[in-house]
């Protein structure tokens, strides 16, 4: 009688989990959920994460802030769990916690892996580059969220054969939204028949909303005066290194350029059904990411989320955005900073509403969360004779 092969034991260490809100938090939550289908998973995360963890995933918590307390608490928790549980793989959810994963892996003889997002490699902080970069280079596996992030990892000295590329995922099962939800949303916010642009995400300098309302939205409004930009999100408070653009500063810029009445802030939306209704009510997702040296956009998960709802994206082709938007299929890419091209692409797309809906959804299926989980698992636990299997 064959002896069952033991499941792989995996310890995920991350600061980016709910109750924090954002793309990295959704990614790490889904990473824990998907890997738990394929391995025995435990997590070291921020205080409050245990109550919101995927079913069946136990969490050891560390104080969320200040940052030094989280790093010390997470290191202690990871070392304790490594010694007691003896995981096969310790995976860091970002470059920030790579040293924690590496040290814990050395303690118990596990493989050390890290999922990097772009900024966690490119950040210019001297202490970070002196202490964090050498340990990221020594990880057994580095998983990059895009081709440009892979290039950053190679430039900092990671050996190419140790790098895998796994794009962030998305929930493509969006058909459960009641048909009336979109109509009710448009009525509730008095949208009428207005063409609606949508921005979703933290209001950081890199996201470029203030520049968009100053340099692009006026050109769109000159042709379509009733156009409305809905803004979902708020200025970052817990994100590391992010420089904020507050709602007040964005509104002031819009007022100064005559489009103050063409924008509306909806704040942070955590209800997935409400966010789905917003995606469905809009005509274009705009992603005016700024090309800022040493502050790259690692991927652009929101563009994939929009595509899953049949909403095309118009974006600047910078950083990992080039992997998140398929030209002519899920939207359009224009040269970074070319505001005239951005305005033209938006107007052209508004003139043919719905034309890219089906192809956008088809593009999004490549990023379904189960597909993401399969790819991550293959990166961290490649098949080997006699080794643990899913």
- Domains 9-169+368-380 and 179-365 alike in fold: yes
Pairwise CA distance, residues 253 & 268, whole Å: 21
Angle between helices 301-308 and 357-364 (to 10 degrees): 120
Let me know: does 348 contact 324? Beta carbons within 8 Å. Answer: no
Name the fold adopted by 9-169+368-380. Answer: Rossmann fold (3.40.50)
State the chain's mean pLDDT as an integer.
91
Is residue 93 within 8 Å of 59, Cβ to Cβ? no
Residue owning tokens 């104080």: 63
d(CA 226, CA 127): 49
Rounded Cα distance, 358 and 39, in Å: 35
User: Which residues on neighbouring strands pair with residue 267, listed in sequence order?
Assistant: 232
What is the per-residue pLDDT across 197-211, written as a single tens digit (0 to 9) for each?
A: 999 988 888 889 999
For 89-142, what is each residue's pLDDT tens digit? 999 999 999 999 999 999 999 999 999 998 899 888 899 999 999 999 999 999
| Mean pLDDT (whole number) for 171-192 | 83
Q: Lowest-pLDDT range, 97-111, 177-191, 256-270? A: 177-191
- The candidate with the shortest Cα–Cα distance to 118, out of 91, 100, 95, is 95
Is a pLDDT exceeding 80 seen at residue 29? yes
pLDDT in tens, 326-361: 999 999 999 999 999 999 999 999 999 899 999 999
Domains of the chain: which residue ranges? 9-169+368-380, 179-365
Distance of CA 99 to the CA centre of its chain: 22
pLDDT of residue 388: 43
- Judged against a pLDDT cut of 80, whether residue 5 lies above it is answered with no
Residue 333 and residue 303 in contact, taking contact as beta carbons nearer than 8 Å: no
**pLDDT (tens digit, 9 = 90+) per residue, 285-306?**
999 998 877 777 888 889 999 9
Q: Closest by alpha carbon to 358, among 285, 287, 309, 305?
A: 309
Q: What kind of fold does domain 179-365 have according to CATH?
A: Rossmann fold (3.40.50)
Say yes or no to pLDDT of 271 above 80: yes
Is it the case that residue 59 has pLDDT exceeding 60? yes
Assess whether pLDDT exceeds 90 at residue 31.
yes
Pairwise CA distance, residues 83 & 91, whole Å: 16
Q: Which residues contact 64 (CB under 8 A, 6 or more apart)?
A: 15, 20, 46, 47, 48, 70, 238
Of the candidates 306, 375, 334, the one whose C-alpha atom is nearest the C-alpha of residue 23 is: 306
Q: Tell me how many helices (H) and strands (E) the chain has.
A: 16, 13
């Amino acid at each position: 009688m064959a002896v069952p092969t033991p499941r792989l034991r995996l310890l995920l260490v991350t600061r980016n989990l709910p109750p924090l809100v954002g793309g990295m938090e959704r990614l790490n939550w889904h990473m824990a959920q998907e890997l738990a289908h394929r391995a025995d998973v435990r997590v070291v995360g921020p205080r409050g994460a245990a109550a919101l963890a995927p079913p069946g995933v136990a969490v050891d918590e560390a104080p969320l802030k200040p940052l030094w307390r989280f790093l010390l608490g997470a290191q202690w928790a990871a070392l304790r769990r490594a010694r007691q549980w003896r995981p096969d793989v310790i995976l860091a959810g970002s470059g920030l916690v790579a040293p924690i994963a590496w040290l814990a892996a050395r303690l118990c003889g596990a493989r050390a892996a890290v999922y990097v997002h772009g900024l966690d490699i490119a950040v210019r902080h001297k202490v970070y580059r002196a202490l964090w970069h050498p340990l990221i280079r020594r990880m057994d596996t580095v998983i990059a969220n895009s081709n440009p992030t892979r290039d950053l990892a190679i430039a900092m000295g990671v050996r190419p054969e140790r790098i895998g590329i796994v794009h962030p995922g998305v929930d493509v099962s969006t058909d459960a939204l009641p048909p009336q939800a979109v109509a009710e949303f448009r009525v509730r916010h008095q949208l009428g028949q207005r063409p609606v642009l949508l921005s979703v995400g933290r209001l950081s300098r890199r996201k470029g909303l203030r520049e968009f309302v100053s340099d692009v939205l006026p050109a769109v409004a000159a042709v379509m005066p009733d156009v409305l930009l809905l803004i979902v999100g708020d200025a970052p408070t817990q994100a590391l290194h992010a420089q904020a653009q507050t709602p007040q500063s964005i509104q002031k810029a819009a007022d100064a350029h005559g489009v103050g009445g063409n924008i509306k802030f909806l704040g942070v939306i955590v209800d997935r059904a409400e966010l789905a209704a917003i995606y469905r009510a809009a005509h274009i997702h705009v992603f005016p990411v700024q090309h800022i040296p040493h502050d790259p956009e690692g991927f652009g998960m929101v563009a994939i989320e929009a595509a899953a709802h049949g909403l095309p994206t118009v974006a600047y082709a910078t950083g990992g955005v080039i992997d998140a938007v398929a030209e002519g299929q899920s939207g359009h890419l224009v040269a970074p900073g070319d505001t005239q091209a951005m305005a033209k692409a938006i107007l052209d797309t508004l003139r043919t509403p719905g034309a890219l809906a089906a192809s956008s959804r088809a593009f999004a299926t490549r990023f379904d969360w189960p597909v993401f989980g399969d790819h991550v698992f293959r990166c961290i636990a490649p098949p080997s004779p006699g080794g643990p299997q899913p």
